[in-house]
Amino acid sequence: MRPIVFNDELVREIHNGIEATFSNMFAIKPKPGAHQVNDSQVIQGDVSGIINLVQDASKDQVEGTLILSFPSETIFAMLTKIYNRPFTSVDKNVKSGVGELTNIVFGIFKANLNRNGYSFQMALPNVVYGEGHAVYISRPGKSLTMPFQCSVGSFSVTLTVCDDSTLPKVG
C-alpha cells in the first residue's frame, strides 16, 4: 500500500478523471490550470462533492479527501446540458448531480491509481452547498488544488492529505 504523496502521478490522475468524466457526460474538455499545494486545507465553492480517501478499510481511518467544488453558475450550466432546462437554485438534482460527478471522477482516479500500488477503497460522496462556503478539514495536513476552466465556467478539484491519518473516520 503506497502512502498518498503529492506528485505528478496524482496530478495526472486527477486530470484524467476529470477529462474522461466531463467529455463523456457533458461533451466538454476542461483545461487544467497550474495546481497549488497549501499547508491549510480550506476549499471554497458554492456546491462541493467530498469523498473520503481510505486505503486500509480494516483500520477505518481516513487518509485524505477528494473534493470537487463548483460555483453555482458552472454546475447549473453543466446540468442544463443534461436536463435541458435552466437551473436557478441548488435543488436535489444539483446536489445529486455533484455527488454522482464526484463518485465517477473518484472511480477513475481510484482504478488508475490502484493499478499502480495504491489500495483506495470504495467510498460514497457527501455534498455540501451554500454560496461561497468553505470546506475546512480540521486535521493537520496539506491540500493540492487544481483549477479547471471550461466552456461553461470554472471549477476546482482539491486533494487533501492528512498528516496524521490515525484518527478514526468521522461522518
Partner 1 sequence: MGDASKPARILIVDDFEIVRIMLRNALANLGHTDVDEAEDGKVALQKIQAAEMDAKPYALVFCDWNMPQMTGIEVLEAVRRNPHYAKLPIVMVTAEAEQKQVVQALRSGATDYIVKPIAPEILEKKVNKILSKINGSAA
Least gap, CB of 21 to partner 1 (angstroms): 5
Closest CB to partner 1 among residues 18, 146: 18
Closest CB to partner 1 among residues 35, 110: 110
53 vs 77: CA distance, rounded Å: 29
Closest CB to partner 1 among residues 42, 111: 111
26 vs 80: CA distance, rounded Å: 10
Q: In the window 22-81, what residues touch partner 1 (CB under 8 A)?
A: 24-25, 79
Q: In the window 96-115, what residues touch partner 1 (CB under 8 A)?
A: 96-97, 99-100, 103-104, 106-108, 110-111, 114
The span of 17-25, 138-146, 153-161, 162-170 binding partner 1 (CB under 8 A) equals 17-25
Residue 79 to residues 27, 106, 123: CA-CA distances in angstroms?
12, 19, 23
Closest CB to partner 1 among residues 76, 106: 106
First to last CA, the chain: 24
Output the nine-digit C-alpha cell for 18: 476529470
Least gap, CB of 57 to partner 1 (angstroms): 13
CB 110 within 8 A of CB 21: no
Query: With contacts defined by CB under 8 A, how many residues of the chain interact with partner 1?
Result: 22
CB 137 within 8 A of CB 41: yes
Quote the strand ranges of the chain, DSSP E.
31-32, 36-38, 42-53, 64-70, 126-136, 141-150, 153-162
Least gap, CB of 167 to partner 1 (angstroms): 26
Q: List residues binding partner 1 (CB under 8 A).
A: 20-21, 24-25, 79, 82-83, 93, 96-97, 99-100, 103-104, 106-108, 110-111, 114, 122, 124
